[in-house]
Amino acid sequence: MPYPLLPREVRELLDALPEPVALLDAGLTIQYLNEAWRQVTPAEEREAEDGYAEGRAFGGCRSRRLGRGEDDTGLLKAGLHGQRGERRGRVEEADDERWVLTQVAPWLQGDGAGLVVTKRDVTVEHVGARASERYHEVLKSVGFAASQFLGGGVWEERVARALGRFGEATDVSRVYVFDARLSAEGGWICSQKYEWCAPGVKPEIDNPDLQDMPFEALGLGRWVEHLSRDEAVYGLVREFPEGERAVLEPQEIVSLAVVPIFAEGSWWGFIGFDECRVPRAWSEAEIEALRAGAGLLGAALHNERAQALVQEHLAQDEVIRVQKEALRALEAPVIPVHEQVVVMPLVGSLDADRIGRVMEALLEGISTRQPRVAILDMTGVRRLDERGAEGLARTTKAARLLGVEVMLTGIGPEVARALTDRETSLGGIATSLHLQAGIAKALGGGARW
């Protein structure tokens, strides 16, 4: 049935729907695009030869917001045989990372038959879920790095293993560490010290241009300003200033995240994460998790310096102090995953002393961040003694007195038995099996156009 003969009430019903909808005939020719579809695809795009428009073959059309029709060929063929189906895919034509859910269903109107094609932007849902997974993996890699940095062996080998785990957890192309120092002339310069590359990615560790680089002369003065203030630099390279792009684009970097490293309270350098494959947005939660890794690396650098002093017959106590500081700084971080949600990942054993520090860090984080929900992730907790269980109950009660909802996630069998055996009172506290599910429950959902 051609578009001009489509009943008015059907067109009005379709135009009232909030999501883009297209009606196709049995030949997969577009018969009607509802108002939401037209809003998503601007006029100049629809007027292009391959733009979505009535009377055109759906498979030959494309849009920066809705993707290519040919990508839905399998769904369309199945729909013509009476099958409903859906596909979630990335829109390659988009300027940024965009994911769309396509749903296809048979459509009957009078004597005619065709398909109803619905598109829904699921970028927030998809990217948020991936960011949550990566955040959790980064925290695991921080724990692995701690075992490497605070253990024995050749320093360079320990750094290489830690950077490799960081790279795999963040799913990036390259991870590297640069130092930063003042030159004899008084300007800031930096040199690459360590690097890890994913398979197929060109290493840059032997690039002489990356040694003794003057920040200002290369147009990276903005980096000095932010990094020295303990602020990360991250985003899509195409949106960076021209001077920065001139340095990054020859290395085929599409997006990056650079996090400062501080050692003994002073800016030491930075750890960087390059994505050379596709445009990638970095969530605040990911950046905060990377900060934990950078903080650990800074503590490890301090630790190495202290061990060098010991080798020169200076006090062994300095090494012990640095190791304890490094572990203490990571034992109870409060990480924001949303302006209203914070997560505190807990690992190891929770005894009375440890739970006291957890309470102090959580209440301080709540006071600073003022979230609506605080999630205590127990995935990494292996043992909970009686005083630790009582302290956990007091911690959740104190947070609720501040007006914050508390959720426990990742409770393992041993911890669950410890809580039930001691009849610990956790009434009114929400729980979730996994951290990702807990974050999703706290955040809710929503589509974006």
Lookup: tokens for 232: 């990360």
Is 114:31 a contact under the CB 8 Å cutoff? yes
Tell me what the mean pLDDT of segment 370-377 comes to. Answer: 91
- Dist. CA 20–CA 41, nearest whole Å: 10
- Dist. CA 255–CA 56, nearest whole Å: 36
* pTM score: 0.53
Confidence of residue 150 (pLDDT cuts 50, 70, 90): low
Name 215's Cβ contacts closer than 8 Å, sequence gap at least 6. Answer: 180, 187, 188, 189, 190, 221, 223, 224
Lookup: tokens for 304: 């190495």
Q: What is the pLDDT of residue 64?
A: 86
Q: What is the pLDDT of residue 84?
A: 92
Q: pLDDT per residue over 151-197, tens digit each? A: 667 888 888 888 998 898 888 999 999 999 998 888 999 999 999 99
Cα-to-chain-centroid distance, residue 266 = 27
Q: What is the pLDDT of residue 329?
A: 47
% the chain with pLDDT above 90: 30
Q: What is the pLDDT of residue 308?
A: 65
Neighbour tally for 319: CB within 10 Å: 19
Complete DSSP assignment for 164-213: HHHHHHHT-SEEEEEEEEE-TTS-EEEEEEEEEE-TTPPP-TT-GGGSSE
Burial grade of 50 (CB within 10 A; 0-12, 13-18, 19 or more): middle
Is 166:175 a contact under the CB 8 Å cutoff? yes
Q: What is the pLDDT of residue 387?
A: 85
Give the strand pairing for 99-109 and 174-182.
Answer: unpaired
What's the maximum distance between 2 C-alpha atoms anywhere in the chain?
Answer: 94
- Dist. CA 71–CA 76, nearest whole Å: 10
Phi first, then psi: give them for residue 386, nearest 5 degrees.
Answer: -60, -45
SS3 69: helix
- Dist. CA 76–CA 236, nearest whole Å: 35
Name 374's Cβ contacts closer than 8 Å, sequence gap at least 6. Answer: 341, 342, 343, 344, 362, 365, 366, 399, 404, 405, 406, 407
- Dist. CA 87–CA 94, nearest whole Å: 17
Written as one letter, the residue type at 292 is: A
Q: Is the pLDDT of residue 352 over 60?
A: yes
Tell me what the mean pLDDT of segment 50-58 comes to. Answer: 92
CATH 3.30.450.20 assigned to domain 3-121? The reply is: yes
Instruction: Give yes or no on whether 3-121 and 125-330 have one common fold.
Output: yes
Domain ranges of the chain: 3-121, 125-330, 335-443
- Dist. CA 238–CA 255, nearest whole Å: 8
Lookup: tokens for 385: 């003694």
Q: pLDDT per residue over 227-281, tens digit each? A: 999 999 999 999 999 889 988 988 889 999 999 999 878 899 999 999 998 888 8
CATH number of 125-330: 3.30.450.40
- Dist. CA 112–CA 195, nearest whole Å: 62
Q: Is the pLDDT of residue 420 over 70?
A: yes
CA dihedral 76, 80, 85, 91 (to 10 degrees): 10
Highest mean pLDDT among 251-260, 345-354, 429-438: 251-260
Average pLDDT of the residues of the chain:
83
Give the strand pairing for 373-384 and 405-409.
Answer: parallel
Q: What is the pLDDT of residue 240?
A: 93
CATH of 335-443, one of 3.30.1050.10, 3.30.750.24, 3.40.50.720, 3.40.50.620: 3.30.750.24
Q: Pick the range with the lowest mean pLDDT from 26-35, 65-74, 378-387.
A: 378-387
Burial grade of 208 (CB within 10 A; 0-12, 13-18, 19 or more): exposed
Cα-to-chain-centroid distance, residue 127 = 7
